[in-house]
């Protein structure tokens, strides 16, 4: 074996080199590109103050300690100050943490406290060591005066304009704590307006237990406690929803810690907050499905649509979970294993909460379903788990009013009868009810797939679509009694059929082929030259090939052979009064059908009815 020269071997191995950083402007670049909103800087400054106070409570507890955070606007000098009476920093801590990007004292303190005092560790918010960078979103110069709570500590001033250097010097400060002074840039002037700053504080820090005072006010501007921690959580939550979301909720579902299986293990998700159902829109199609997210009572993001299951598009809420992991900017969440566990816990509790409402508060459930029917039905048809949760409690619009499916099937005899169009469907529903069959309005998206899924799962349900099929409920009658009536309508160019159908009070109905409106509108567009020649020729060919339907666009009049009035008219000799009565029956049937009529056609129909009635009165 030939031995290698050690020097040659060393030269063949890759050498390890440290990364190099170009410091000038680094702070400003990181701040501007790490955060999407300048408002985040206020949150980060409050968070640092909060953690400084928590650190003092953990490391230097003292009697009569009254923690507080104060925000002060000095508009003439374009200065914003954030004061706290927390633990403060020593000179070495300034250099090790404040002036070291990515190193977080809070994170290290949490790690140290966790084995000894988990509750104290859980109260700390900071994590990444980037938060102080956000100050340069607002300021072109930052000054920090801090004094450690340790005995005989000296106060120091740290200052920077965001360049590659910072300055440290002794300072004068009596009490322990920290003051951060920002010289606000013109582009961040909104923080120098009290109302704006108040709204920012309430958005991010409303739930922090430490009082936050603005501009010398005697009362704190934050709630200091989330509504679910109040003596009357239900009332407090309703008040919070009204203030923050601007609505009166239909139902509120409180959140609580929940055990979730991870397959290989089971964990308890520490969850708090609430979900609520807002009032439904008129169209019942406005989607929500979003939550505001807090971590250790500090606001992270609003309108998060990933934590709730896809079917929960009619739900909003507030979620606080210390196990959720924020991104470095703390404006979004990492969708990791914990995130999935939280989502699973939310889905389970939401499903259980809705079932409880349906069972224990029927009037409230009816409001929820009526307000959000289309979303609930549409998503349930696509989501098997949600379908199982709501299949027997969601209600549908029927010819007998709102009914859930078990009640509907009991009344219908075990089969589904439905229409998928609103226009013209009233007479289908009328005929079905006349034969004792309640009809479901399936004209809204999601209803038909939901019914099909339910019928398939049951296996013993008929599934009958009445659109265009309602004529199967007619029983034609061929009797010489109707010959003269048929001749009258033949002279009017109206095709007539005589049949027995229920309800007997209805004298006549009008039926049209499915594509009647299309044929009418297509012919009008061709005649008025609205279409290009190729398209007009194509449409003309289609109408020609479907001449049998196109010729019937005037409709088919079905006279009810069970109607006493129509039978009386059929037995009378021909007269102007009889013909006028038949004209009334015809025009009313046209208007009731609600199809193929333009505004002018409807006006003429009413005019014909009026003239016919006047004629009958004069006889």
Instruction: Look at residue 102 and tell me whether its pLDDT is greater than 50.
Output: no
d(CA 399, CA 404): 13
pLDDT at res. 128: 31
pLDDT at res. 104: 44
Distances (CA, A) of 530 to 520, 536, 601: 14, 8, 21
Instruction: Count Cβ atoms below 10 Å from residue 126 Cβ, excluding itself.
Output: 26
Residue tagged 């299951």 (tokens): 309
pLDDT at res. 112: 47
Top-ranked range on mean pLDDT: pick from 40-44, 55-59, 208-212, 446-450: 208-212
Q: How confident is the model at residue 335 (pLDDT cuts 50, 70, 90)?
A: confident
d(CA 93, CA 474): 91
Q: Is 193 left (phi over 0), alpha (psi -120 to 50) or beta?
A: beta
Phi, psi dihedrals of residue 338, rounded to the nearest 5°: -65, -40
**Residue 243, CB half-sphere, CA atoms under 13 Å: how many?**
12
Instruction: Look at residue 506 and tell me whether its pLDDT is greater than 50.
Output: yes
d(CA 156, CA 95): 11
Residues facing residue 298 across a β-bridge? 295
Instruction: Look at residue 430 and tell me whether its pLDDT is greater than 70.
Output: yes
Average pLDDT over residues 507-536: 68
pLDDT at res. 205: 93
pLDDT at res. 60: 82
The C-alpha torsion from 205 through 209 and 214 to 216, rounded to 10°, is -170
Instruction: Look at residue 129 and tell me whether its pLDDT is greater than 60.
Output: no
Instruction: Look at residue 123 and tell me whether its pLDDT is greater than 50.
Output: no
d(CA 584, CA 591): 11
Worst-scoring range by mean pLDDT, 86-100, 408-422, 441-455, 563-577?
A: 86-100
Q: How confident is the model at residue 93 (pLDDT cuts 50, 70, 90)?
A: confident
Instruction: Look at residue 124 and tell me whether its pLDDT is greater than 80.
Output: no
Pairing of strands 556-560, 495-500: parallel
Instruction: Look at residue 581 and tell me whether its pLDDT is greater than 70.
Output: yes
Worst-scoring range by mean pLDDT, 73-87, 237-251, 283-297, 487-501?
A: 283-297
Distances (CA, A) of 598 to 508, 517, 558, 591, 602: 21, 10, 22, 11, 6
What is the per-residue pLDDT across 545-562, written as a single tens digit (0 to 9) for each?
Answer: 654 444 445 678 889 998
Residue tagged 């479907």 (tokens): 546
Angle at 102 between CA 100 and CA 108, to 5 degrees: 95
d(CA 250, CA 265): 36
What is the per-residue pLDDT across 239-258, written as a single tens digit (0 to 9) for each?
Answer: 999 999 999 999 999 999 99
Residue tagged 């000296």 (tokens): 154
pLDDT at res. 274: 98
Instruction: Look at residue 17 and tell me whether its pLDDT is greater than 70.
Output: no
What is the per-residue pLDDT across 273-307, written as a single tens digit (0 to 9) for each?
Answer: 999 999 976 444 578 899 999 988 989 888 899 99
Q: At what angle do helices 576-593 and 483-491 cross, to 10 degrees?
A: 70
pLDDT at res. 454: 94
Instruction: Look at residue 1 and tell me whether its pLDDT is greater than 60.
Output: no
Average pLDDT over residues 218-226: 94
**Tokens coding 73:** 């606007």
Looking at every residue in the chain, the average pLDDT score rounds to: 81
E strand spans, 413-553: 415-419, 440-441, 462-465, 475-476, 495-500, 508-511
Average pLDDT over residues 301-318: 91
Would you say 145 and 155 are in contact if contact means Cβ atoms under 8 Å apart? yes
Instruction: Count Cβ atoms below 10 Å from residue 166 Cβ, excluding itself.
Output: 17
Closest among 328, 346, 356, 208 to 274, alpha carbons compared: 346
Q: How confident is the model at residue 111 (pLDDT cuts 50, 70, 90)?
A: very low
Closest among 119, 120, 159, 127 to 143, alpha carbons compared: 159
Q: Helices marked H in 459-532 — which ranges?
A: 483-491, 516-527
pLDDT at res. 435: 74
């Amino acid at each position: 074996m030939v031995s290698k020269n050690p020097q040659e071997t060393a030269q063949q191995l890759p050498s390890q080199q440290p990364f190099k950083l170009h410091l000038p402007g680094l702070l400003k670049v990181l701040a501007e590109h790490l955060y999407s909103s300048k408002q985040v800087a206020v949150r980060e400054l409050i968070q640092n103050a909060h953690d400084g106070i928590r650190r003092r409570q953990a490391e230097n507890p003292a009697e009569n300690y009254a923690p507080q955070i104060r925000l002060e606007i000095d508009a003439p000098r374009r200065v914003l100050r954030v004061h706290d009476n927390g633990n403060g920093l020593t000179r070495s801590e300034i250099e090790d943490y404040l002036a070291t990007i990515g190193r977080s004292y809070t994170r290290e303190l949490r790690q140290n406290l966790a084995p000894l005092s988990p509750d104290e560790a859980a109260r700390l918010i900071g994590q990444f060591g980037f938060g102080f960078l956000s100050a340069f979103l607002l300021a072109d110069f930052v000054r920090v005066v801090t004094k450690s709570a340790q005995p005989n500590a000296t106060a120091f001033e740290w200052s920077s304009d965001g360049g590659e250097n910072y300055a440290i010097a002794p300072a004068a400060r009596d009490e322990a704590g920290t003051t951060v002074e920002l010289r606000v840039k013109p582009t961040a002037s909104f923080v120098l307006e009290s109302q704006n700053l108040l709204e920012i504080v309430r958005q991010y820090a409303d739930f922090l237990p430490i009082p936050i005072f603005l501009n010398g006010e005697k009362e704190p501007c934050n709630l200091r406690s989330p509504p679910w921690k109040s003596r009357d959580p239900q009332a407090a939550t309703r008040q919070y929803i009204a203030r923050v979301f601007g609505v009166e909720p239909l139902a509120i579902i409180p959140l609580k810690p929940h055990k979730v299986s991870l397959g290989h293990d089971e964990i308890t998700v520490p969850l708090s907050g609430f979900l609520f159902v807002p009032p439904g829109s008129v169209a019942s199609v406005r989607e929500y499905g979003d939550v505001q997210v807090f971590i250790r009572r500090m606001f992270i993001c609003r309108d998060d649509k990933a934590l709730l299951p896809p079917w929960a598009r009619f739900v909003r809420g507030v979620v606080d979970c210390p196990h959720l992991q924020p991104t470095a900017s703390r404006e979004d969440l990492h969708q990791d294993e914990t995130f999935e566990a939280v989502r699973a816990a939310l889905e389970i509790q939401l499903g259980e909460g809705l079932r409880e409402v349906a069972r224990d508060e029927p009037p409230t459930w009816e409001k929820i379903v009526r307000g959000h029917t289309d979303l609930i039905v549409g998503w349930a048809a696509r989501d098997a788990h949600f379908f199982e949760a709501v299949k027997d409690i969601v209600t549908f619009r029927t010819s007998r009013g709102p009914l859930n499916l078990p009640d509907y099937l009991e009344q219908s005899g075990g089969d589904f009868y439905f229409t998928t169009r609103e226009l013209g469907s009233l007479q289908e529903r009328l005929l079905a009810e006349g034969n004792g069959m309640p009809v479901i309005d399936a004209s809204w998206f999601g209803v038909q797939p939901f019914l099909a899924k339910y019928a398939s799962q049951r296996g013993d349900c008929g599934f009958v679509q009445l659109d265009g099929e309602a004529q199967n409920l007619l029983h034609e009658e061929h009797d010489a009694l109707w010959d003269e009536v048929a001749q009258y309508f033949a002279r009017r160019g109206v095709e007539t059929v005589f049949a027995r159908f229920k309800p007997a009070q209805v004298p006549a109905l009008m039926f049209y082929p499915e594509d009647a409106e299309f044929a009418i509108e297509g012919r009008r567009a061709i005649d008025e030259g609205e279409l290009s020649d190729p398209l007009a020729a194509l449409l003309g060919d289609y109408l020609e090939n479907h001449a049998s339907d196109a010729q019937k666009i005037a409709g088919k009049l079905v006279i009810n052979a069970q109607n006493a009035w129509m039978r009386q008219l059929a037995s009378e000799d021909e007269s102007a009064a009889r013909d006028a009565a038949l004209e009334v029956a015809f025009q009313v049937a046209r208007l009731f059908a609600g199809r193929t009529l333009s505004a002018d056609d409807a006006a003429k129909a009413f005019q014909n009815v009026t003239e016919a009635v006047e004629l009958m009165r004069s006889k």
